[in-house]
Amino acid sequence: MLKVRQRKRNIVASFRGGSETKLRDAGVDTLIGEATFVDEKTLEYKDSGGNVRTIQGQKIFINVGARPAPPLLEGIDLLDRRAVLDSTSIQELDEVPSHLVVVGGGIAPSPSGFTLYFHVNNGDRTVEGTHILFATGRIPNTDSLKPEAAGIDTDKKGYIVTNEYLETSSPSIFAIGDVKGPPAFTHISYDDFRILRSNMLSLPPTRLSTKDRIVPYVVFTDPQLAHVGLHEKEARVKFPNKRIQTAKMPMAYVARALETDESRGMMKAVVDGDTGLILGFSCLGIEGGEIMSIVEVAMIGNQRV
């Protein structure tokens, strides 16, 4: 686990260092610290040494991301804090948990670690564990930013509200990435940048927007779970008057899956029955992400089935 953790740290350091180098080489001044809005064009910035300065900009872009939601569960304060994990701290473990429990109810300590109490349809149950992972969502990093000082609207969870052009309620301020709410994928932030760059630095016939963009994702389980576009239920709700059709195929019908002895899972496509256009695709199977990406290309190219 020490080697696993160090490899993770090395990759993170490499990625961060590469980004910082590119910014510096491009002539961008990078200030590391905590910023707070004073007004829509002014920020107060505090560095790690406690020094405070004021910075201003005609346009401000917020890309501060989100963090794991804190564990709010009765009895959690009684547990050893080293055993209470989230999606960040679990990557800093130096040992393999003897019994990892993903949160789902109420908690008490026990001789072996802790006992988790939860309720199911047929009554109460318990399970004991050594480590507990709180995978209960994320919260935006807007609390210390004080967006209200700049006239920026947020929702009840603190996410910044934007329109399809990534504009906030303050005319000179934009938000991209996780801070504006789900879906929380790195490539969403990249694509948000593509939209802003095009709208601000070029003159396309029409402004680009987030409306109806095709969003792919992969869960790197074994086998992979990949998806792009609309799920069947979403398609039927969004297009109540269309003839929505689906096609399914088990991975056991795929030669590569059989040859590699990994035939678990299936593929499913959601199609507009009138036009033949693919509205969505899912794959739970070996190399599901690679299969999905080919379908995504077909969707972008308006290929018909």
- Tens of pLDDT along 111-129? 666 676 666 677 777 778 8
What is the reported pLDDT for 128? 82
What is the rounded distance in angstroms from the CA atom of residue 150 to the CA atom of residue 59? 12
Pairing of strands 52-56, 42-47: antiparallel
Determine the pLDDT at residue 256: 93
Residue segments in the chain with a per-residue pLDDT below the cut of 70: 104-106, 108-114, 116-120, 204
Contact of 61 with 166, CB cutoff 8 Å? no
C-alpha to C-alpha distances, 35 to 27, 50, 61, 166, 231, nearest whole angstrom: 21, 12, 13, 21, 39
For residue 178, the 8-state DSSP code is: G
Look up residue 182 and give its amino acid.
Answer: P
pLDDT at 105: 43
Q: Are strands 278-285 and 224-229 parallel, antiparallel or unpaired?
A: antiparallel
CATH architecture of the domain with range 36-67+152-213: 3-Layer(bba) Sandwich (3.50)
Give me the sign of the Cα torsion angle 275, 280, 283, 288: positive
Classified by CATH at the fold level, domain 216-300 comes out as Enolase-like; domain 1 (3.30.390)
Q: Identify the bridge partners of residue 123 per DSSP, sorted by sequence position.
A: 120
Q: Give the CA dihedral 256, 259, 262, 267, nearest 10 degrees.
A: 30
**CA gap 139, 135 in Å, rounded:** 12
Domain ranges of the chain: 36-67+152-213, 76-133, 216-300
Place of tokens 């960040």: 88
Place of tokens 């990093």: 141
